[in-house]
Structure 1
């Protein structure tokens, strides 16, 4: 497209205006690939020559619309509050009018012709970009770093240019690229209607108008400019997607990494099956994440067992792979992540198929089996509950989806589950929205949702991190009660060693994507942990006996423990 815009008029400009009275409305031929028009001029040459005017005017209209829209969008940031409200209201009224009618209205007001059409399209684009800029700048203006700048006495204009504009420029650039294609179509439409480019100049819209009258004589005269408009529109759209990917706004069509090599399974790697009371048995679990053209493994060769009625803690520093391991076992990881294992045996069923763990979306078997017998309690319940639905409706959904219950029966069961997790007045609370619940109550509601299917395993991923101490105790006590009354196994992910030692029977210690030690809580409390990383975690727990100025226990970055030590400890 750039080649046509730059060199089209230079190479084919003269040929596009030459009239051949012997070739009036000629059919396509080797000399004229798309035939000639009613004046005997080569259609292809005219289309290539018109590329500069068509694309140039569309880009000019886009630049005008984006510049004016951004200016309108930023005015509420610097103007007084009452004046800013008038600007926002005027922008909303302008958006209410159909864009095509606005373009035609402006075209009539400013006059026909190429410049008039460009101004009309640019003016019509301003309200949309103004509203987009207003929305993004308002979201940024309320952030802490902007408030801090205001406290320091930074002027409104400087806040706009230094703090707000850099945070909204990428979406504006992407939308400008996408809007350029729409401006091209609109510009061609005005020319097609006779409100745009006037003779003797011509663009793709005028050529389309001329070719339409001869479409039954030579369809190519209309198809050629139409194809050019479509091609340019696709180019602008792909440019927008490329910019979006480059800015990290919407990572699509990314570079595919090389094929992930499969690790051959050997008999020595497969640990014999555990006792019959094992509810979850994981062998050789691996999670691969694309890193450019290669792969990295944040979870690598993880193996562990959890027995029925057992409470197991999973501890380790941030980034060690705890949450990723839990999500992989629950089949909640999607592409581009790759989950493989030698075996994942859950509640009597093998979930691994051809070395891969299918996600719940792709596998109906996993969806039903894991949806009824496995419950997850996430770290932040406010993001796990749909804010637009009643809490009772969300809890009851599982009963209707997997339990085959009627809507009324599922709702009654949901109320019973809320009562079981000690939420007061469950009938009334079931009809409330998540924002009407406190943090602890939302976490209890998540546990109630898990109890709808009578799970044999509950995975609690740091369920008390966002709660205060008294609410933490209530949630942990509830998990313990569910474990005792339902005989459900619990895998508790936590940073808090004290919580793990107080609630769990044993602990799995993760370091750099691998389980480095499986240690009983009694040994952990007594200081009999073998692995230096586990001992460092214990030493990092604050103590009232610590001396002032004493450094915290740390492990040097990038430390790799000997393989012999790893095998001995595990």
Structure 2
């Protein structure tokens, strides 16, 4: 807090804003005590007097000194404005966060109600609620507070919606963090800056609104007075004694300027990562004891597959009905096995992983005949500790996977405190150890840094380290090497291999890169149009692929033997739109082997005695070379 205040005072805007705000606060505290009597003293011999050495602004119709009355009115004007602002901000926060906490139909109803209220002009709402709550200071405060809440709620909803889709929020959900804690810990800190600016600017606007209501006779009532009441009293003599109305108006302008300038300066301080956040204490900083780290341990039958999925589908409502981007996925992963998932963008790879991890939110619907992990049925209500400690998810973009306003160590340690019952000291020590395990140099210092201080490769390592805070039985890595250079990519893949060996964890690796999957995984699942079209050993991917789509994917990846003088191979046509999946085989329109049967009947995923599964009517036919429809055209690899 001291660092923020010092930084605030270093800026001209901050100094001016804080100076004005401090002056107003002192006036609000001291003016009624020092000059309350002089402001209320009646002088019948000097009614409606002009400015003089005795009365700097003049007197009102009872001879009271207007300068001191403006000063004394500061307390009531500021108190009422701050109360109304606090009420509006509180209501706006509740309405803005409610859709995230409620979800489903209740959340949509809140959004609809806010949208309706925002459509009304704010002045009309203020006047309406002023009539509802009654004339007077209390009614005006309630009216203005309720009237400003919808606009603030709309801002909060928009900001929350942007943060709620970030990967670090999804990681907190899969860790089993309570929704309220997610809001307080992860969402609100990331939207604090615009909220602070809006709240302070709103306070200045509320001052003007109060002055307007009092000016109209709906706000503060005699014998009390605020700046708006003083403006109303001075209106009758505006042509002969203009300062009587202008002085309180100038006070309103200065107060609004103080709030606005201070808000801008505070927002700049909130936006500086060097002064925000709080480091998690290192080992030995507190006296808490370690309560163990074995919570969430599973006792699944070793003979049972680690993950078993049967007929998994994901559906979303659409204007034309229901869209199913994932259709009937069935797979199994054994303990310690590495399974790769490949396919073009939009084939349903990531969505399948999200469905397995229970991260598909409303309005999405996940259905499965069988969905078991570590012996537990994921279709019903399960202990979140199981998913939080036994299932690790490494998201595609490490920058968005971390909360930018929290230190790396605190984000890793949160898993230990939430699910493993660790003390703050033990959780931090575990976080440092996990950073060391993923080959981060100087982990004690790095644990106290922010995500933006890490390079892309280091952020990805730290993300893997977060997954290792528990004892993961399965690691889901969704494009973990995207946007990394070749050297760092190889380091990350080597790290995943080492973790599999050391932790005996299974790996589900999602990637566009067929060569990466073939190098890292034991088995490969090829997806197209939301379905698995082939399941084969990784060692046979280049030589014994039977589905024409798999063979086309492999052929489209250049290698050292590719002729650099020839155009790169591409797959003709476009991927299927999930909202308009054709009858029969979804790949038929792009397949050189397609027949009428392919266009009329959807092939089932059949297994051969060796366990190689393929969904193609012509998979058993002998074919030499690549599919003739794999055109060589100018363009990149699929």
TM-score, length-scaled by structure 2: 0.48
Q: Over residues 237-258 of structure 1, what are the superposed CA-to-partner deviations in whole Å (9 max), with x where a residue is unaligned? A: 999999999x99979xxxxxxx
1:482 paired residue number:
499
SS of the residue corresponding to residue 389 of structure 1 reads coil
Given that residues 317 and 511 in structure 1 are in contact (C-alpha distance below 8 angstroms), is that contact kept between their aligned partners in structure 2? yes
SS in 1 for 2:541: helix
- Give the alignment of 1:338-357 within 5 angstroms: 338-353=365-380
Correspondence for 1:470 = 487
| Residue 546 of structure 1, CA deviation | 5.9
Q: 1:545 to 1:89 in 2, by over 3 A?
A: farther
> Which of residues 349, 371, 383 is equivalent to 2:388?
371
Q: How much does 1:414 deviate?
A: 1.3
Mark the CA change 1:451 to 1:208 in structure 2 (over 3 Å): closer, same or farther. Answer: closer
Match of 2:124 in 1: 184
Do structure 1's residue 459 and structure 2's residue 486 form an aligned pair? no
Whether the aligned pair in 2 keeps the contact of 1:372 and 1:402 (CA below 8 Å) is yes
Q: Is the 8 A contact 1:178 1:240 kept in 2?
A: no
Distance 1:180 1:374 in 2: 48
Equivalent-residue separation in structure 2 for 1:313 and 1:399 (angstroms)? 29
Residue 338 of structure 2 corresponds to 311
> 1 or 2 for the larger relative contact order (CA 8 Å, sep ≥6)?
2
The equivalent residue for 1:138 is none
2:466 maps to 1:439: no
2:517 is paired with a residue whose SS is: helix
Structure 2 Cα separation of the partners of residues 287 and 484 of structure 1: 33
SS class of match (1:278):
coil
Does the Cα contact within 8 Å between 1:533 and 1:555 map onto a contact in 2? no
CA contact (8 A) 2:336 2:504 kept: yes
Shift of 1:545: 2.1
1:410 equivalent in alignment to 2:427: yes
Offset at 1:442? 0.8
User: Per-residue deviation at 1:466?
Assistant: 1.8
> Does residue 545 in structure 1 map to residue 485 in structure 2?
no
What do residues 477-513 of structure 1 show as CA deviations (whole Å, max 9, x unaligned)? 0000001111110000000011011111110011011
Change (3 A) 1:402 1:300: same
CA displacement at 1:432 relative to structure 2: 1.2
CA contact (8 A) 2:556 2:569 kept: no
Structure 1 segment 311-330 matched on structure 2, within 5 A: 311-330=338-357
Distance 2:159 2:413 in 1: 38
- Provide closer, same or farther for how the CA distance between residues 95 and 291 of structure 1 changes in structure 2, counting only shifts above 3 A: farther
Can you list the C-alpha shifts for 1:448-476, whole angstroms capped at 9, x where unaligned? 11111110100000000021111101110
* Equivalent in the alignment of 1:422: 439
The change in CA–CA distance for 1:433 and 1:238 in structure 2 (over 3 A counts) is closer
1:326-385: CA deviations, max 9, x gaps? 0110111111111111111111212223xxxxxxxxx4x341111110001011111111
Q: How does 1:138-537 map to 2 (within 5 A)?
A: 178=118, 180-187=120-127, 276=303, 278-292=305-319, 294-353=321-380, 363=381, 365-526=382-543, 528-537=544-553
Shift of 1:178: 2.6
* TM-score, length-scaled by structure 1: 0.53
Q: Secondary structure at the match of 1:541?
A: coil
Q: How many correspondences in the alignment?
A: 353
- C-alpha contact 2:521 2:538 (8 A) present in aligned 1: yes
Residues 1:394 and 1:352: Cα distance change in structure 2 (over 3 Å): same
Q: Tell me, which stretches of 5 or more residues in structure 1 are unaligned?
A: 1-84, 102-123, 129-173, 193-203, 213-225, 252-272, 354-362
* Contact 1:423/1:441, CA 8 A, preserved across alignment: yes
Report if the CA contact (8 A) 1:400-1:410 is conserved. Answer: yes
Superimposed CA distance per residue, residues 236-287 of structure 1 (whole angstroms, 9 cap, x where no aligned partner): 9999999999x99979xxxxxxxxxxxxxxxxxxxxx998152101001111
Return the alpha-carbon distance in structure 1 between the equivalents of residues 360 and 395 of structure 2. 15
Q: Structure 2 stretches of 5 or more lacking a match?
A: 1-10, 29-80, 86-113, 163-299, 577-581, 588-597, 607-613, 616-638
* Structure 1 pair 530–239 and aligned structure 2 pair: CA distance change class (3 A): same
1:567 match: 605
Are the structure 2 counterparts of residues 533 and 91 from structure 1 closer, same or farther at C-alpha, using a change threshold of 3 Å?
farther
CA deviation digits over 1:160-196, x for unaligned, max 9?
Answer: xxxxxxxxxxxxxx9997384431244568xx8xxxx
Q: Structure 1's 419 and 177: CA in aligned 2 closer, same or farther, altered over 3 A?
A: same
Q: Could you tell me whether the CA contact under 8 Å between 1:274 and 1:305 is conserved in 2?
A: no
> Compared with structure 1, are the counterparts of its residues 87 and 177 closer, same or farther at alpha carbon in structure 2 (3 Å cutoff)?
farther
1:72-116 deviations in whole A, cap 9, x for unaligned?
Answer: xxxxxxxxxxxxx99999999999999xx9xxxxxxxxxxxxxxx
CA offset digits 1:111-169 (Å, max 9, x no partner): xxxxxxxxxxxxx9xxx9xxxxxxxxxxxxxxxxxxxxxxxxxxxxxxxxxxxxxxxxx
1:551–1:422 Cα change, 3 Å: closer
Alpha-carbon contact 1:375-1:459 (below 8 Å) kept: yes
Verify the 8 A CA contact 2:529 2:575 in the aligned structure 1: no
Judge conservation of contact 2:392–2:467 (CA < 8 Å) in 1: yes
Q: Distance in 2 between matches of 1:419 and 1:248?
A: 35
Tell me the distance in 1 between the aligned counterparts of 2:160 and 2:452.
29
CA distance in 2, matches of 1:243, 1:404: 36
**Aligned partners of 1:300 and 1:513 also within 8 Å:** yes
In structure 2, relative to structure 1, the CA distance for the partners of 1:88 and 1:416 (3 Å cut) is closer
User: C-alpha root-mean-square deviation of aligned residues, in Å?
Assistant: 4.4
Measured in 1, the distance between the counterparts of 2:19 and 2:572 equals 60
